[in-house]
Amino acid sequence: MSYGGQTPTVVVLKEGTDTSQGRGQILSNIDACLAIQDTLKPTLGPFGSDVLIVDGGKTTISNDGATILRLLDVIHPAAKILVDVSRSQDAEVGDGTTSVTLLAAEFLKEARQFVEEGMSSSVIVKAYRSACRLACGRVRELQIELKRKSNDTKDDAEFRELLKKCAKTTMASKLIQSNSDFFADMVVEAVQCLDQDELDENLIGMKKIAGGSLEESRLVKGVAFKKTFSYAGFEQQPKKLSNPKILCLNVELELKAEKDNAEVRINKVNEYQAIVDAEWKLILQKLEAIVATGAQIVLSKLPIGDLATQYFADRGIFCAGRIPADDMERTVSAVGGSVQSTCSELTSNDLGNCGSFEEIQIGSERYNLFEGCPKAKTCTFILRGGAEQVIAEVDRSLHDAIMIVKRAIQNNYIVAGGGAIEMELSKYLRDLSRQIDGKQQLIVAAYARALEVIPRQLCENAGLDGTELINKLRSLHSQGETWYGLDFGHESVANNMDTFVWEPSLTKINALQSATEAAALVLSVDETIKSEPNHNSIGNQPVPPPAGRGRGVPQGMPPTQMQMS
């Protein structure tokens, strides 16, 4: 059908929709990712600087890539891919969040020249994935197994020392670098407290108390939590117990005024007294049932009021109410027993126990400590420091170290850090690319060049001559010196396997795979459709004004009422 010889205009997308496509869109997305790289570059390595982020008045100082990207509130859709990659690296491995972001952006930077020359992005993606597969295969060939004398890491002193070296390598780029010996020992001990089959890092608690020095931090092999809100009679309760039996509840032990809960209509005074007596009888029955179990410590997620507090104090029992759910969960996993939601039919099997309980003063806070737990599948760090921002950064640093030690136990293969493995992979892929025909040769060679961004940026952040040291490393790796990397102590290069700069091979493999997939995802997008949300419409229909809210009509008043008045 013709319309006067003119082709009719077909409107598919609603008005205000922004569409961008083609080569220019790919280049724009690459530029956005490079902007993220420029932000994170200075934070890499042991001499990386920290970033100060102020968000709504809250100040954060960190050099952790995942933390920085989470707080930056990135809005560019392509750049958000790098944020997601960094988070996945943090969740899966714990360390290498900055490295994976720099690698992904560098892969895109190397691909830019090919896109500008008109090469199809699918060709680049195919070559990148092939190079990644070869690089990961090479890491698996080179990785070295940490030898164990037994499956129980607690009894293997030599393996424990190897784990400490992995933890110290992770801390080398953190705020706690100068205290790495002190914290590395604590981190390995904390991981060994966990169930060695599961190694659930969520069972490691972190408590922060401002004041004191970093080395006043301590590890409690058990549970520690801040003293909860206390009622009258709390001062008379014991503050130190040996081998106590512990009852964990999800029961409220507090008298409630009936006017808060229900409306009660009575005709006689003695009827009201009967209601009050019944309420007292119910709570006293609960308290008597608890005491009959022989428990010396009573913990509850819900409030324990002044009547119950005084009742327990008179009988030499310690109690604490309003305990946070995560602290209660870790307490039960450490002391045994189970959380009871009723006080009827309590038995001794419902009780847990620990070697010692004590309430102590730490800084300006009082803490309850449960140590010597028979089922100590949990532990708690009590972190000290001069400022809250410092303690928060110590928390993030210890999380990375804990994850690395955990991965080293689960997958006990390591490679040398300090840029050594990246230089070896770069040399390997460069040599391999010369045997490939066609466009793939150039792209694999570009992938190899991109891997050098890690040692080059490490040099730049340390104030060293990157060009000289990178050339020296290229020469050594071409001669078969596989583990040579940067040695910041002597501002030169060294065999980092011999100097104990170790990282789990899983960290490098995961970083390569994640960075390559992120780069492939950005390169495969050549069209962006951005639809502006219409807040004043439902679907495509405008929202009518509410009835009775016209001019001169008070809000919420029906029109009929206005007319009648």
Output the six-digit token pair for 36: 């993220």
How far is 245 from 328, CA to CA, in rounded Å? 15
Q: What is the DSSP letter of 260?
A: H
How far is 462 from 195, CA to CA, in rounded Å? 40
Give the residue among 199, 166, 201 at the shortest CA–CA distance from 185. 166
User: Where along the chain do its domains lie?
Assistant: 18-145+415-523, 153-221+381-411, 223-375
Question: Is 223-375 CATH 3.20.20.70?
Answer: no
Residue 558 pLDDT level (bands cut at 50, 70, 90): very low
Q: What is the DSSP letter of 492?
A: E
How far is 136 from 141, CA to CA, in rounded Å? 9
How far is 86 from 59, CA to CA, in rounded Å? 21
What is the distance, to the nearest Å, from the Cα of residue 221 to the centroid of all Cα atoms in its chain? 22
How far is 175 from 400, CA to CA, in rounded Å? 12
Residue 514 pLDDT level (bands cut at 50, 70, 90): very high
Residue 236: how many other CB atoms lie within 10 Å:
12
How far is 434 from 436, CA to CA, in rounded Å? 6
At a CB cut-off of 8 Å and minimum separation 6, what does 248 contact? Answer: 299, 300, 328, 331, 332, 335, 337, 338, 339, 340, 352
- Greater model confidence, 106 or 67: 106
Question: Is 18-145+415-523 CATH 3.30.70.330?
Answer: no
Output the six-digit token pair for 306: 């002044």
* pLDDT tens digits along 120-166: 889 999 999 999 999 999 999 999 988 776 666 666 788 888 888 88
Output the six-digit token pair for 564: 């009648």
How far is 125 from 130, CA to CA, in rounded Å? 9
Continuous segment of H or E residues that includes residue 84:
helix 79-92
Calculate what percentage of the chain has a pLDDT beyond 70. 86
CATH H-level, domain 153-221+381-411: superfamily: TCP-1-like chaperonin intermediate domain (3.30.260.10)
How far is 90 from 315, CA to CA, in rounded Å? 49
Residue 554 pLDDT level (bands cut at 50, 70, 90): very low
Q: What is the DSSP letter of 236?
A: G
Whether the pLDDT of residue 277 is over 90: the answer is no
At a CB cut-off of 8 Å and minimum separation 6, what does 255 contact? Answer: 279, 280, 283, 305, 307
At a CB cut-off of 8 Å and minimum separation 6, what does 281 contact? Answer: none
Whether the pLDDT of residue 472 is over 70: the answer is yes
Whether the pLDDT of residue 217 is over 60: the answer is yes
Whether the pLDDT of residue 295 is over 70: the answer is yes
* pLDDT the model gives residue 20: 54
If you compute the radius of gyration of the chain from its CA atoms, what whole number of angstroms results?
A: 32
* CB distance 237 to 309 below 8 Å: yes
How far is 313 from 231, CA to CA, in rounded Å? 11
How far is 487 from 480, CA to CA, in rounded Å? 18
* pLDDT the model gives residue 553: 42
What is the distance, to the nearest Å, from the Cα of residue 83 to the centroid of all Cα atoms in its chain? 13
Lowest-pLDDT range of 27-31, 273-277, 403-407: 273-277
Q: What is the bridge-based pairing of β-strands 356-362 and 240-242?
A: antiparallel
Output the six-digit token pair for 411: 């997958």
Common-topology check for domains 18-145+415-523 and 223-375: no
Q: Give burial (CB, 10 Å; 0-12/13-18/19+) of 85.
A: buried
